Amino acid sequence: MDKQLLIHPEKFLTVLSHEEINILCNNRHSELYEMFRRCALAVLNSGIEIDDSQFLLKQFHNFQINILQQDRGIKLEILNAPDHAFVDGQIIKGIQELIFSVLRDVIYVNDKLNRDTGHFDLSSSMGITDTVFRILRNAQILLPHRKPDLVVCWGGHAIGREEYLYSKKVGYALGLRNLNICTGCGPGAMKGPMKGATIGHAKQRVHDGRYIGITEPGIITAESPNPIVNELVIMPDIEKRLEAFIRIAHAIIIFPGGVGTTEEILYLLGILLHPKNKNLPFPLILTGPKSSESYFLKLHHFIEQILGFEAQQRYKIIINDPESVAKEVLQGMEDVKKYRLLKKDAFYFNWQIYIEEDFQKPFIPHHENMAQLVLSKNLPAHELASNLRKAFSGIVAGNVKEQYIQLIQELGPYEIQGDKRIMRPVNELLKFFVKQKRMKLPGNTYHPCYQIKKGA
């Protein structure tokens, strides 16, 4: 599409002060603006299943999006946008809403993070949690006066057809029970539960179904949002994204995936294994079709080898039974509700769960940082989980994030080293993911961005 398009905010950023308008307009030539342009391009390609940000940038190299000031606020000028974002010359409504969500989170929030030290405190664990809370509140994700009903679904973007259809069936079972869905907003296991829930909600005449997508800049530019997402939040980094999931979830379901899903599992288990969270109810279910049973057996064995029996007790595995998954979630939510009432905690944000600062500080996966990770059986289980999470996070970055892909092309693969009792299971799991084609979308050849080094 070669013609100019002007769009106005309708849900977010509709009423702005002069200072807020200046924040948005004065970033037009900054790195934040380029991040905004790339994230906006990803949203305009909603529904296109790719995991290569360079592909979109090359295909739509003439795409531009400009922030224009007007008396009542701002509007966006869009040039050379993808044709599939329009119907009869009009931008699709959901895409228009999500573009302003991008503007809100990438420029408005990031500017405050970078400049307004009085607004956000990132120097302490409590300050980081408060920052996550404020970003979610600003995005209108935190809704009071609602009983627990939000299910976070994790799983891979590169899953097979049978696993995708199963995730839809689980979403359908959840939707029939008036439960809402939050995922990482991309394709595959992030799309399936949302799509299934829309049918369940339609049958139950639920008119305000929530399909929340939580992502971060490096991921959304490589994986466009799926078209079901109606609430989008772009957190500043992966750690705040993961904390956001944990804080708003009333239950978590994990479908088959690859390194990104393993990163999420390690993050959550590391938190749940902390002694302060020992008695905290947190429904966690791993599920997939019968054909995925070997995947979960492999993952279950990996967790036993690395984190031990106690970690295995924090989740249930349900194979090929969407109804049982949904019923288990409902029962778990009742326990969550009773606990929150007892502790006088909010339903919409889990303040009670304890998250150590090491889980919150952004990990930058440069080669040196990856090589220096301490992966030792001598560490407490929750600390080992935290460090392993960082290793898997680095592999995710090397697989899909442009700046780290370029870094690996220049310096070679990451070297990950540690106790052989840890590295052997890690290496076996990664080889299993490669063999099952869980690293990249179908049709893409996978070249490992890492080398596993076994120590003593």
pLDDT tens track for 214-242:
999 988 988 889 999 999 999 999 999 99
Beta bridge partners of 211: 181
Pairwise CA distance, residues 277 & 206, whole Å: 34
| CB-CB contact of 329 with 179 (8 Å) | yes
| CB-CB contact of 164 with 194 (8 Å) | no
- What pLDDT, in 10s, does the model give residues 371-409? 999 999 999 999 999 999 999 999 988 988 888 989 999
Tell me: pLDDT of 456 over 60. no
Tell how strand 284-288 and strand 180-183 pair up. Answer: unpaired
The CATH number of the structural domain formed by 5-119 is 3.30.1850.10
Check residue 177 and report its DSSP letter. Answer: T
List Cα–Cα distances, 46 to 153, 186, 230, 253, 327, in angstroms.
19, 9, 12, 24, 32
Pairwise CA distance, residues 395 & 360, whole Å: 18
pTM summary value? 0.91
Expressed in angstroms, the distance from the first to the final Cα of the chain is: 59
At which residue do the structure tokens 């905690």 appear?
345
Tell me: pLDDT of 177 over 60. yes
Pairwise CA distance, residues 148 & 131, whole Å: 22
- pLDDT at residue number 358: 93
Tell me: pLDDT of 111 over 80. no
| Mean of pLDDT over the chain | 90
Torsion (CA) 400, 255, 356, 371 in degrees, nearest 10: -40
- What pLDDT, in 10s, does the model give residues 253-270? 999 999 999 999 999 999
Listed by start position, the domains of the chain span: 5-119, 134-211+245-343, 357-454
- Cβ count within 10 A of residue 72: 12
Tell me: pLDDT of 1 over 50. no
Tell how strand 73-79 and strand 86-87 pair up. Answer: unpaired
In this prediction, residues 328-342 reach a mean pLDDT of: 96
- pLDDT at residue number 214: 97
In this prediction, residues 99-118 reach a mean pLDDT of: 78
- Give the pLDDT band (50/70/90) at residue 363: very high
The CATH number of the structural domain formed by 134-211+245-343 is 3.40.50.450
Beta bridge partners of 90: 87
Tokens at residue 117, please?
Answer: 């030290």
Higher pLDDT, residue 323 or 221:
323
| CB-CB contact of 282 with 329 (8 Å) | no
